[in-house]
Amino acid sequence: MTYIQFVITNFRWLLAGLLLAFFSSFGQTFFIALSTGPIRKAFDLTSGEYGSLYMIATLASALVLSYIGRAVDHYSVRKVAVVTTLMLALACLLLAISTSIFLLTFAIFGLRLFGQGMLTHISLTAMAKWFVAGRGKAVSIAQLGFNFGQAVLPIIFVAVIALVGWQQSWIIAAMVLLIVALPTIIYAAAHERNPQTLEPESLEISASLRQWTRNEMLRDPVFWLVSTGVLAPPFIGTAIFFHQDFILTERGWSYEIFALGFVVLTVVSVISGLISGVFIDRKSAVIFLPTTLLPMALGCFVLAFGDTDTAMLIYMALLGISSGVASAVLGSVWPEVYGTRHLGAIRSVIMALTVLLSALGPGVMGWMIDFDVGLNVQFLGFGIYCTIASVAMAIAARKFLLRQQPSQF
């Protein structure tokens, strides 16, 4: 089945995954950061104080996510998505009307938990549960929601802030979630998809697969081996984007060239993700695990030894390759190796770890900056870590493939 045929046949379900990913943008760092200046001024916070507040709220959201994420295993995607969208809208409204540090922290906690956390978790879990033979394509298409959100929403939100102010902008964001997001998500996720009835070939694929529980997965050493690589992108990527002002100043890069870099990142990520989805469906997500971090490692080495505009654009392109491939691979590999029966609970742990590392990344890099650790040294360290993690993921992939051999059961 071609991509076009696949999309036409499964349009409603793919739309649900894409919409959930798109509207998760309201809780992503790149979106919240657009209000950083006004928020700090309104509450008289230093960069360090606001960064610490943001980290605490994000860490708390990661902890809660590991518990509530299992709801996808017990309730329909539609019900969980509706409740999550309503709570995200409430968090947007709370941020707009916050008058104290406590309310501000709680609002950011809600944005991180229900935006970056739950909507992302629901989107990827739904694609993994609803599709088997076409899982790679489904995940890569749903991931387009993240790309579209990152490409479109900042431009719109900055313009809205300029017109009505940051507080009214967050009220408008809440209205968009209630008036636009909620009805479209209800429509798209109205019916659960049963892959066993719509994809007969999936019966053969999943017939002998062991259905792991979350506790069994947590006791699996191979899971933690894979995690060394899975957690690198949220740590490194978020840290670099969070401290972009400092990096641009140190390297002498303009905001215009950095904005161009984001365009390169988005385009390359979309293309590599869609291509990866096809190959995953033909082969296996497991065999691509070792390749996900190699472009990012190379990109970090480029930044470590080059400070030109070209070096930055090359880094963005390589990061785009890693982001696209990793999104497709990591969205498909967990149901492939651990099954789908308890996927909500399993993915909630993975998503919580992702949120956790996205909170620690900016803090750790900020501390290194405070201790005068040079950017070249930091980027070199990031590249070395990604290389080592790639080796660990290669070992994990081999162990996963050995488990899938008939003789292992």
Determine the residue type at 208. S
Q: Tell me the CB-side half-sphere exposure of residue 82, using CA atoms within 13 A.
A: 11
- Token couple for 37: 């200046």
- Token couple for 76: 């329909």
Residues 6+ apart with CB under 8 A from 256: none
pLDDT of residue 102: 93
Which residues of the chain have a pLDDT value below 50? 197-207, 407-409
* Residue keyed to tokens 């967990």: 334
Q: What is the C-alpha to C-alpha distance for residues 254 and 252, in angstroms, rounded to an integer?
A: 7
- Token couple for 148: 């579209």
- Do the Cβ atoms of 349 and 217 come closer than 8 Å? yes
pLDDT of residue 122: 92
DSSP secondary structure string for all residues of 64-100: HHHHHTTHHHHS-HHHHHHHHHHHHHHHHHHHHH--S
pLDDT of residue 209: 66
Alpha carbon 205 to its chain's center: 27
Instruction: Tell me the whole-structure pTM to 2 decimals.
Output: 0.78
- Do the Cβ atoms of 130 and 192 come closer than 8 Å? yes
Residues 70-116 have pLDDT tens digits of: 888 888 889 999 999 999 999 999 999 999 999 999 999 999 999 98
List domains and CATH numbers for the chain: 11-191 (1.20.1250.20), 211-409 (1.20.1250.20)
Q: What is the C-alpha to C-alpha distance for residues 66 and 72, in angstroms, rounded to an integer?
A: 12
* Region of residue 352 (phi > 0: left; psi between -120 and 50: alpha; otherwise: beta): alpha
318, 288, 327, 302 alpha-carbon torsion, rounded to 10°: -20
